[in-house]
Structure formats: structure tokens, C-alpha cells
Amino acid sequence: MDLRVLTDEILLQLLKANNELAFKEIYTRYWQRLFETAYHRLASRETAKELVQTVFLRIWEKRHSNHITHLQSYLQTAIKNSVINYVAATLVHKRYLQHIINTGSTTYQGAESTLTIHELSQAIDKAVAALPAKTRQVFRLSRFDHLSIREIATILNISEKAVEYHITQSLKTLRSYLKDYLDIAL
């Protein structure tokens, strides 16, 4: 069967039924447009490719829970949001580095007392990895994918109260795990 002639709606139904060929057709049909959108805004081929790959990875991972009605619009919105999140994260990273540069040389003496972004990033990754599976999943959707409590509850098929509980637990664990880093930063 030639999937190129099928509508997006039929491809989405096949995708929900775990049809890898339907996923490949969706990818083939839309990857170039998404790449161009991301590249136009970022002017970085590698970053644009990574963001497009992430969008398609999420489509595959959430194929059973996604309720997409207009695929092209959904994908364009997803890539635009990914670009916005990437730019925002980059700005935060730059501000933090500037803050470390501005305050680090006058507040702290010596290289060993300066908290680096790399160390903090590794500590956060370890702390997140130490969370229970469901709590980690909720935390990632909330903090990394920037989904609302309602969206997370829908995706994971749990109550909004359960989502709030998992977020609270993850933040308590992270605060505890990162206590030493927070003390140094303050």
C-alpha cells in the first residue's frame, strides 16, 4: 500500500495502531517544513535538526495518547514551541553565566569555590534520575516540556491532584539532593 496517498487523519489512525510505516510517512511529509521553520528562527542547522527530531520523537512516544486533529498545524505549533523553549533556555543559561562571572570573581576566591554550569547540570541530572519513575516522568513533562498540570494529567491518564503530588515530591527531593549546590550558590 502506498502511504503517500493517504490523508493525515488516516496516517494518525495508523500511527496510533503502532504502524511504523505511517510514522515514517508523516516524518517524510513534514520534516523539511519543520526544519526550515526552526532553521529560519535559529540559524543553526544542528540545533534545528535536534529540535525537529525531538518533535517527531514525542509524536512517536505519545502516539497512543495524542489527540491530534490537524497534523500540520500541530507540528508547526510543536516546532515553534520547541524553538521558543530552546531560546528561553539559552537566555537563562547566558544570564546565569553572566551572573557567575559578575559575582563569582568578587564573592568567591579560587576556582574550586565557583559553581559551574556543568557541575550543576550534572547534579540536576543525577537528582532527576534518582526520582521514582512516575514522579520523574511528571517532573520532566512539567519542567522540561513545559506542560500544564491538566495536560500532564491527560497524557498520563492520572488525576490533576496526582500530578500536583508528583511535582511536589520531585521538588522536595531535588531541594534535598541539591542542598549543597544551593548553599554554595547563595
Q: How confident is the model at residue 37, as a pLDDT?
A: 94
Q: How confident is the model at residue 108, as a pLDDT?
A: 45
* Helix axes of 45-61 and 20-42: crossing angle, nearest 10 degrees: 150
Q: What CA–CA distance (Å, rounded) separates 71 from 77? A: 10
Closest CA to 27 of 69, 65, 67, 57: 57
Per-domain boundaries in the chain: 1-85, 115-186
Element (H, E) at 180: helix 179-185
Those residues whose C-beta lies under 8 Å from the C-beta of residue 66, and which sit 6 or more positions away, are 12, 16, 59
Q: How far is CA 180 from CA 93, 121, 176, in A?
A: 20, 14, 8
Q: What CA–CA distance (Å, rounded) separates 168 from 178? A: 15
User: Grid coordinates in use for 47?
Assistant: 540545533
**Cβ-based neighbour number of residue 38 at 10 Å:** 24
Q: How confident is the model at residue 186, as a pLDDT?
A: 41
In sign, the C-alpha dihedral spanning 177, 87, 156, 162 is positive
Q: How confident is the model at residue 117, as a pLDDT?
A: 64
Q: How confident is the model at residue 73, as a pLDDT?
A: 93
pTM: 0.54
* Fold exhibited by the domain 1-85: Rna Polymerase Sigma Factor; Chain: A (1.10.1740)
Is CATH 1.10.150.120 the classification given to domain 115-186?
A: no
Contact 170, 131 (CB under 8 A): yes
Q: How confident is the model at residue 113, as a pLDDT?
A: 43
List per-residue pLDDT tens for the chain, 186 residues long.
788 888 999 999 999 999 999 999 999 999 999 999 999 988 889 999 999 999 999 999 989 888 888 999 999 999 998 888 888 877 777 777 776 666 654 444 444 444 566 677 777 778 888 888 899 888 888 887 788 888 888 888 999 999 999 988 888 888 887 776 655 544
Q: How confident is the model at residue 29, as a pLDDT?
A: 95
Q: What CA–CA distance (Å, rounded) separates 20 from 99? A: 47
Residue 4, amino acid: R
